[in-house]
Amino acid sequence: MKLAALAKQLRSVLGEEAVLHHPEDLMLYEYDAGLAKGTPELVVFPKTTEHVSAIVRLAGARGVPIVPRGAGTGLSGGSIPRQGGIVMVFSRMRRILEVDVPNRRAVVQPGVVNLELSQAVARYGLYFAPDPSSQKASTIGGNVAENSGGPHTLAYGVTVNHVTGLEVVLADGRAVQLGGKAGEHAGYDLTGFLVGTEGTIGIVTKVVVKLSRIPEQIATLLAVFQTAEDAANTVTSLTAEGITTSALEMLDGWTLRAVEEATHAGYPIDSGAVLLIELEGLREEVEEQAEAVARICMAHQAREVRRAKDERERQLLWIGRKNAFAAIGRLAPSYYTQDGVVPRTKIADILRFIDGVAKKYGMTICNVFHAGDGNLHPAILFDLRDAEQVEKVHAAGREILTRCVELGGTLTGEHGIGMEKNELMPVLFNDDDLEVMARMRSAFNPNELLNPQKILPAPRSCREGVISMQSAAGVEQ
C-alpha cells in the first residue's frame, strides 16, 4: 500500500509514463555492468531539478530509499538497489545547458553521455579530458558519482580534477549550489567532497566541468614485449626518467589476442604484453619525448616500438584498447573485473601475485589496465552458472585487492566502492577512519535513504555506522 500510494503521487508530478512498476520493466534496472543484482520497486525518470527534489521529498516522507542511476555501466554495484525502493534514472536529463568557450567551462545535466560532450565542443578546439573506457555510454553524472578516470588519468587526473561546480539535491529535497565556474571558491570544498560519494551524500542534478584544449600534436606508440614483467619494468623506468605520458596502458598476452581477434587493430598476437603509450603537447616536445620513450622501451627488451602513422591507425589502436573488455567476453561465459591500485614500482610484483592467484584457483585472469598510475583491471574468467566458480572468483578478487593494499595501494582507482568492496574497507581503514566517514554521511543523509548500504561496511559494533553518532553526542557505550 505504501508503494502504491507513493507511485500515484509520483505520477501526478512526473507523468504516467515516467513511473515504472511492472515486474518486466523493473527487471531492466536490477543490474549494472558488475555481478550483483537487486530489484527496485519503482523506477522514475525525472526531467528537471524540481522533479528530483519532489521525488526525494515524497520518498523521504514514506521512508523509501532512492538509488540514482546513469547508464548502468558501473562495475561496483553503485546503482543496484539493495533495499528495493526507487531507482531514479537520469536518461531524460541529458542536455548540455551551456558551453562557455572563453572560460573553458560547460554546464551539463547528469544524463549527458561523456563522449557526446567532447563531440559537442570539438568545433571549438576543446574536449572533456576524463575518458573512461565506457565513455560512449557512461554519463557525466555517473562519472561524478564514481570519480571515474580512464587511460588519460595519468596526465590529466580523474573526474574530480575537472569539476568546478555542482547542483545537488540533498536528502531533505533542497537543491543547493556548490562551487561554480571559477577555479577557486571560499569556504569548504564541498564540490570536491561530493565527487566520488556515489549518491550517498546527495543527488547531482547539474555539473560545471572544465574543458581542455585539443593538443597540437599527439603521438601514439605501441611497445611490444615478450613478457609482462619487461613491460612492467619499463613503466617504472619511464617514471624514473621524468617522462609524463598522457596515457600508458598495458595489455597482457591473453587480452591482446582477444582484442586482435575482435577488432583487428594491429596488436601482435605472439607477444607476452604490450604498452600503448600516448604523448601530447607541442610538436617539438612530443617528438623529443617519443624518441626517449622508444629508447627506454628498447632498453627493457622491447621487441619493437611502433608509432601510429596516421589518425586512422591511432584510432584503431584505441578502439582495440577501449573494447578490450568486450573482447575478453569472447574467452569465457562471464568475467569479473577488479579495480585495485598499486604504486607503479609494484606493478611487476602484483602481476606475479595475480598469476599465483590464477594458478591457486585454477582460473584464467587477463590483465588490461592503466599502467601509468598503477590502476589494475584484472579480469577473472569464469562461468556464472557454476556456483563453485562464482565463490572462487570472489575469493580471488578479495585476495588481489588485499594484496594491493599491502603493497601500498588502495581498493579502487575509478570504479568506486559501491556494494562490491564495502566490506573490504576495514582492510584499508581503521575503526576511527570509518567512524568519521559514517558521521559525514549521516550529516547529509541522516536516515540513509540515499543509496543505502554502499561504500561503508555494515555496522559490526556500536562504534561503526550510524550508531557511532551516539558517541559524537557524548553517550556512553
**Could you please report the per-residue DSSP string of 73-104?**
--SSSTT--TT-SEEEE-TT---EEEEETTTT
pLDDT of residue 319: 93
pLDDT digit of tens for each residue in the chain (477 aa)?
678 899 999 999 999 999 999 999 999 999 998 888 999 999 999 999 999 999 999 999 999 999 999 999 999 999 999 999 999 999 999 999 999 999 999 999 999 999 999 999 999 999 999 999 899 999 999 999 999 999 998 899 999 999 999 999 999 999 999 999 987 788 899 999 999 999 999 999 999 999 999 999 999 999 999 999 999 999 999 988 888 899 999 999 999 999 999 999 999 999 999 999 999 999 999 999 999 999 999 999 999 999 999 999 999 999 999 999 999 999 999 999 999 999 999 999 999 999 999 999 999 999 999 999 999 999 999 999 999 999 999 999 999 999 999 999 999 999 999 999 999 999 999 999 999 999 999 999 999 999 999 999 998 643 443 343 333 333 333
Any idea which architecture 216-328 has in CATH? 2-Layer Sandwich (3.30)
Return the domain boundaries, the chain.
Answer: 2-89, 96-213, 216-328, 332-428, 431-472
Strand boundaries in 170-321, DSSP class E = 175-179, 203-210, 212-213, 217-225, 247-252, 273-281, 302-307
Strands 86-89 and 42-44, by their bridges, are parallel
The residue assigned the cell 623506468 is: 237
- d(C-alpha 320, C-alpha 255), whole Å: 10
- d(C-alpha 144, C-alpha 412), whole Å: 15
Q: Nearest Cα to 275, choosing from 234, 222, 317?
A: 222
pLDDT of residue 186: 85
CATH number attached to the domain at 2-89: 3.30.43.10
Decide: 96 and 50 in contact? Cβ < 8 Å: no
Any idea which architecture 332-428 has in CATH? 2-Layer Sandwich (3.30)
Nearest 5°: the CA angle 221, 248, 105 is 105
**In the 8-state DSSP scheme, what is residue 111?**
T
Decide: 239 and 275 in contact? Cβ < 8 Å: no
Which ranges in 269-310 belong to alpha helices (H)? 283-299
pLDDT of residue 184: 77
- d(C-alpha 46, C-alpha 28), whole Å: 17
* Amino acid present at 401: L
Q: Do domains 216-328 and 332-428 have the same CATH topology?
A: yes
Tell me the C-alpha to C-alpha distance, in Å, between residue 104 and each of 7, 108, 113, 124.
41, 13, 18, 10
pLDDT of residue 468: 39
Decide: 273 and 250 in contact? Cβ < 8 Å: yes
Burial class (CB in 10 A: 0-12, 13-18, 19+), 164: buried
pLDDT of residue 457: 96
Instruction: Classify domain 96-213 at the CATH topology level.
Output: 3.30.465
